[in-house]
Structure 1
Amino acid sequence: MKMKLLMLLAGLLILSCKSPEARRPVTQKSGSYINESIARNRKIVAEEEAQIQKIIENDSTREYFSSPNGFWYYYNEKDTLSTRTPEFGDVVEFDYSLTTLEGEQIYTDEEIAPRTYTMDKEQLFSGLRQGLKLMKEGETVTFLFPSHKAFGYYGDKKRIGSDVPVISKVTLFKISEENEDQNNQNN
């Protein structure tokens, strides 16, 4: 009996000295999901840009500009004298509304209410953040944003669904420097 116990202990001792082996995944996936996602997103972007181009082609009354950031815009009211546009850390007061490309109202400017935003330090959808950087005080600009520049795949979880391009009419009321704005609040 002692002999069996000693052999069992010796066997366990020998087996326990073995280095651990890496576990292999039960299933292995290729990069096909990522490739399918890329293809799907490219198709969505192309369709949305075609919709926007059709709107631009059918509107001969306005001069549209293409942003290097992937959206289009035109001026409702343009300031030709001022040169100051918002920079990182500036505080801007603005108002905006959102509609679909078909013209259906999503949010009115009354629902959103005038906003105060510190440039690049707070959450704001990327197209609007980039669009504000193009504006001067007193200007009103209408932006046409593909969904990836607006609310993207997730939408806003309220009224804007997945992959919805939007038109946003934005009025920039005031640009002030961050420390200037804080001094006004302290007084």
Structure 2
Amino acid sequence: MKIKPIILLILIVSACKSPEARYPVSRSSGSYIDESVALNKKMIAKEEDQIKKLMANDPDTEYLSSSDGFWYYYNDKVEDSIHETPEFGDIVVFDYTISTLDGDPIYDIGEKPTKEYAIDKEKLFTGLRQGLKLMREGETVTFLFPSHKAYGYYGDRNKIGSNVPITAKVTLRDIKEEPVNETNN
């Protein structure tokens, strides 16, 4: 008779045991990701070297380096302090052309329509989104973008292929402050 309470106690203790974690059947070493990172770093370094050579061959132009990973120069610069740079939500109106780093046109004048863009509220490729924030109304700036700041791996699915560094000549026509939403209480 004493055996039954002992068996019952063993069953209760083993039933209260917490479940053990199950491990995956296959494990990946992460070598694919490591290889991909190394290839991307090599590609970015190659594109940046190409841009630096282009700048070195043009000593008469004052190139500026952006903290966001691209270079640019002013074709037409506005020096007065009246004109401000756009801020989050402001609507900017601009025209732009896109060329290869060698200067071959990809989208020439008129191929890209004048564009209205709400700063950081709409889709636009990374470099241009960041570049517009550096500009004042009336300025024309030429940007040199490595592919990861331009259209990246996918290109624009039209004229710009995969991993193509570009130059974009941008004229900022107008800056309209973000509309204020007024509600009646």
CA distance in 2, matches of 1:20, 1:58: 65
SS in structure 2 of the partner of residue 179 of structure 1: coil
Aligned length: 164
Amino acid at match of 2:24: R
Q: CA RMSD in A?
A: 2.0
Alignment of 1:1-187 (within 5 A): 22=22, 24-25=24-25, 27-82=26-81, 83-179=83-179
CA distance in 1, matches of 2:151, 2:29: 29
CA distance in 2, matches of 1:110, 1:60: 30
Higher percent of residues as helix? 1
Deviates more, 1:33-42 or 1:104-113: 104-113
Q: CA deviation at 1:61?
A: 1.9
User: Normalised by the size of structure 2, how large is the TM-score?
Assistant: 0.83
Q: CA deviation at 1:24?
A: 3.3
Q: Percent identity?
A: 57
SS in structure 2 of the partner of residue 33 of structure 1: helix
Gaps of 5+ in 2: 1-14
Q: CA deviation at 1:114?
A: 0.5
Tell me which residue corresponds to 1:9. Answer: none
